[in-house]
Amino acid sequence: MCFLFYLLVRGLRVGADCIVEFCVDRFMEKAESGSVNGSANVLSLDAVRDTLIRLEDTIVFSLIERAKYPINSAMYNESAGLVAGHHGSFIKFFVKRTEALHAQAGRYGSEEENAFFPGSLSCSLVSSRPSTNVLHPVAKIVNLNKDIWDMYINQLLPLITAGGDDGNYALAAAADLACLQAISRRIHYGKFVAEVKFLDDSPEYTRLIRARVCITS
């Protein structure tokens, strides 16, 4: 389990600066409008804590699934030329195309979802439901996925997989994507944690935000 804690701690550290920026932006907007997001009060610290635990279970499950395949290093090689007509690595081809499909299916309409390649997304083909957003709109610009991607591919993956290449690139890439999405969802859930903590003690967090104090726990 040590790598999971390493991962989460590192993820939170990577995110610390961005979360502070988000808090500052959020506070400024609130100060201008004189109100918080109307639906934010559906959050509670207990609900957020339950969600965090469930998200960590998902990370553990997905890492176990990925560990069933060897590292298959060729998948991550930008110049391996594994996919006909596609420049770049197999894993980028797989993740970009999957995210484009998931965008068509409306995945990124959820506040909990952040794409790894937001510039490659298709428009949603699914009619939107009435919004139940609880975060301030500026939260959407906080996206740490580039750091998560680099950490997962370069540091975490070699720790959880055996060496070798079994040629099961599509299956291994699907397992990689499940890991990346689970880690991303958990780390970005920090935005909900920030929101619920802010609402729980607005005067104190307002003071900390004004002082630009970095809070990582």
Question: For residues 185 and 182, what is the distance between their CA atoms, to the nearest angstrom?
Answer: 5
**What number of CA atoms fall less than 13 Å from residue 56's CA on the CB side?**
17
Instruction: List the one residue from 6, 10, 52, 98 that touches a copy of itself (CB under 8 A).
Output: 98
The contact pattern for a copy of itself, residues 132-161, with x = CB under 8 A and - = no contact, is x-----------------------------
Query: What minimum distance in Å lies between the beta carbon of 57 and a copy of itself?
Result: 8
Residue 38, C-beta contacts closer than 8 angstroms, at least 6 positions apart: none
Q: Which of 1, 31, 125, 211 binds a copy of itself (CB under 8 A)?
A: 125
Residue 64 binding a copy of itself, by CB under 8 A:
yes
- For residue 210, which phi and psi values (nearest 5 degrees)? -60, -35
Name the one range near a copy of itself by CB under 8 A: 4-12, 51-59, 141-149, 197-205. 51-59
Neighbours of 49 (CB within 10 A): 12
Q: How far is the CB of 98 from a copy of itself (least distance, A)?
A: 6
Contact between 129 and a copy of itself by CB under 8 A: the answer reads yes
Say how many CA atoms lie within 13 Å of 70 toward its Cβ: 10
Please write down the long-range contacts of 100-103, taking CB distance under 8 Å and 24 or more positions apart: none
Binding footprint of a copy of itself, residue count (CB under 8 A): 38
Which stretch in 14-22, 84-92, 146-154, 155-163 sits in contact with a copy of itself by CB under 8 A?
84-92
Calpha distance 150→144 (Å, rounded) = 10
CB of 83 to a copy of itself, least distance (A): 5
127 scored as a contact of a copy of itself (CB under 8 A): yes
Contact 209, 24 (CB under 8 A): yes
Residue 65 binds to a copy of itself (criterion: CB under 8 A): yes
- Phi-psi domain of 215 (left: phi exceeds 0; alpha: psi -120 through 50; beta: other): beta
Residues 157-186 that bind a copy of itself (CB under 8 A): 167-171, 173-174, 178
Q: Does residue 90 belong to the site contacting a copy of itself (CB under 8 A)?
A: yes
CB within 8 Å of 28: residues ≥ 6 apart? none
First to last CA, the chain: 20
Contacting positions for a copy of itself (CB under 8 A): 54, 57-58, 61, 64-65, 68, 82-86, 90, 93-94, 97-98, 101-102, 104-107, 110, 113, 125-127, 129, 132, 167-171, 173-174, 178
